[in-house]
Amino acid sequence: MSDLSDKLSHELVVSEKIQETPDAYSFRLAIPKQLEEKFKYRAGQFVTLFLNVNGEDLRRSYSLCTSPEYDGTFQITVKQVEGGRGSNHLALKIQQGDILKVSPPQGTFFQPLETNKGAEYFLFSAGSGITPTFSILKEVLSSDTSARVFLFFANRDEDHIIYKSELSNLEEKFGDQLVITHRLTKPKSQETATYGRCNPGMIKNFVEIHRQQSVSPKQAYICGPEGFMSSVSEGLKNYGFDEKEIRTESFKSVTSVPSSESAEEPEDVDGVIIGDPAAASSSSPKIVALINGEQIEIDADPELSVLENLINNGKNPPYSCMDGACMACMAKVTAGKVIQDDFGILTEENVEDREALTCQARPLSATVNIDYDDL
């Protein structure tokens, strides 16, 4: 991955490491003057880190927790995950002064409403899902004095609330503009905490309590584990939120591979075939890609993803996280087949429609036709 990481990332120095909770750390990154333009960012965006852990190349994406309007700094927060090679390497090995290989910011999570219209933003986070919503919260409060922000933040207990003191200071500073509700599943003091697991009814009640102007524009942002996000989405829809008013940022969590007729492969492969299962496999594949109306043909390395092959050949396909956690690199397989190593956030419908995440899909047939424009 070294050649690819050199093309997609830049070396940044860790200017400060901050322990937020027993298992979460923030890393403030220094942006040199010559890279300031490349690393300009919007609230809610993320970066990809290219790590080498015990000789193994890893890519891990982390949301920026800072706001360009409010903070003016560049910072990510990483929560240790049991068995997580990337998160544990960062938490235990990386210190102030170390260098990280970081991609420029990507992502379109935050789509602000028109300012000075009394907009109401409902933010829902669980655990380290607070990172992009914390960025959005600060951006809204500092750029729109008419907006109101309501944060619903779920955690295990008081000690694991990331940015706890900062959130308290913000709530005091912005007065009636910001309201924060903490929900703890295992609080240490049940007398002082609102506790219990999140459910759709709770979310519907949360909005009903806080929504003040039924005619004001509203928007919801959700980030956290899939179960949490599903409950929040259901509660918001029960209240009356439209799909377009609900924006989600998912943790990458692949627990199973969906089954469908098009995903059943006759070959012994570790992954899912997308495209024409009858297409003959080849160790010397070609990729024919349609990108922004231009047809591109390249000889491909079967060990690399479609996206990596295109980038290594100087092409400019769409991409974002490079980690299967977004759909920026999705394309339709119009001929031939690919092997999807990691299912990422694909659905059964995507597979049936021959849609692949090209950052995780390797060419499998003699010719693979990929259409980035037909989505």
- pLDDT at residue 61 in the model: 85
Q: Structure pTM? A: 0.72
Asked whether the predicted pLDDT for residue 18 surpasses 90, the reply is yes
The domain over range 2-102 is classified in CATH as 2.40.128.20: no
Q: Given pLDDT bands bounded at 50, 70 and 90, which one contains residue 258?
A: very low
Local structure of 88: helix, strand or coil: helix
Q: Are strands 286-291 and 367-371 parallel, antiparallel or unpaired?
A: parallel
Q: Where in the chain are the domains?
A: 2-102, 120-250, 261-371
Min mean pLDDT across 42-56, 130-144, 275-289, 310-324 is at 310-324
State mean pLDDT over 162-183. Answer: 96
User: Regarding predicted confidence, which is higher, 185 or 16?
Assistant: 16
The 10s digit of each residue's pLDDT in 204-248 is 999 999 998 777 899 999 998 888 999 999 999 999 999 999 999
* Rounded-to-integer distance, Cα 209 and Cα 214, Å: 12
Q: Is 2-102's fold the same as 261-371's?
A: no
Q: Enumerate helices (H) and strands (E) in the chain, giving the number of each.
A: 8, 20
CATH level 3 topology of 120-250: Rossmann fold (3.40.50)
CATH level 3 topology of 261-371: Ubiquitin-like (UB roll) (3.10.20)
